[in-house]
């Protein structure tokens, strides 16, 4: 009788030990998983180089990793820069163009100065204004290039000539922790 009790007790003890070993192994596996997930999340948080920007005239922040940002941000910045250059009047041209040149990359200010001066002289001589109405955007976010197609409307005094089809390309870069445009060119329109 005592032999049966000892055998049953040994069997129960060995089952309990096996169950405790299984629980211990599962606990160690869970701890390892938690440790590796925590390490990956901590590394992602510490090495987060995200840029948060608020473009002109927009009430929504954009966050991005990398050099230039996502297509929505680049599109909004290109639209803001186009407005500064093309939606001007005789009275606002100088201030708008000065603000536009503040966003120019190094070397781009000198390239744009003659064209902007000519535009200001033309508007001042004819007491005119211009407005650009975009109709199509193409954005290459990886290259930072935006192509905008639309109609440019000039108004000189009481004269209102027909709108002119225009196509502009802008190249937007980030330098010294700031956004700037590296190119602002008119592309010939294919007819």
Clarify whether residues 41 and 77 are in a common domain.
Answer: no
Contact 80, 72 (CB under 8 A): no
Give the domain CATH number at 77. 3.10.450.230
- Lowest mean pLDDT of 62-71, 151-160, 171-180, name the range: 62-71
Q: How many domains does the chain have?
A: 2
Could you tell me the residue range of the domain that residue 16 belongs to?
1-48
Reading the block at residue 190, the tokens are 């294919």
Query: Is 85 part of any domain?
Result: yes
Clarify whether residues 75 and 159 are in a common domain.
Answer: yes
Clarify whether residues 42 and 114 are in a common domain.
Answer: no
Average pLDDT, the chain: 84
Tens digit of pLDDT for each residue in 81-108?
999 998 998 888 889 998 888 888 888 8
Tens digit of pLDDT for each residue in 151-161?
989 888 777 78
Residue 19 Cα to chain centre, angstroms: 55
């Amino acid at each position: 009788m005592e032999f049966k009790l000892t055998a049953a007790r040994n069997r129960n003890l060995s089952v309990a030990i096996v169950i405790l070993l299984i629980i211990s192994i599962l606990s160690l596996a869970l701890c390892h998983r938690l440790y590796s997930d925590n390490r990956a999340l901590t590394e992602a948080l510490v090495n987060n180089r995200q840029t948060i920007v608020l473009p002109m005239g927009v009430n929504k922040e954009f966050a991005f990793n990398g050099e230039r940002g996502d297509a929505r941000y680049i599109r909004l910045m290109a639209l803001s820069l186009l407005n500064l250059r093309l939606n001007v009047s005789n009275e606002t041209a100088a201030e708008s163009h000065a603000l536009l040149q503040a966003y120019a990359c190094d070397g781009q200010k000198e390239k744009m100065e003659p064209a902007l001066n000519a535009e200001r002289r033309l508007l001042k001589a004819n007491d005119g204004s211009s407005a650009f109405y975009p109709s199509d955007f193409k954005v290459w976010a990886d290259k930072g290039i935006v192509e905008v197609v639309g109609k440019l409307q000039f108004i000189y005094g009481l004269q209102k000539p027909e709108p002119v089809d225009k196509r502009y390309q802008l190249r937007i870069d980030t330098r010294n922790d700031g956004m700037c445009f590296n190119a602002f060119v008119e592309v010939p329109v294919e007819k």
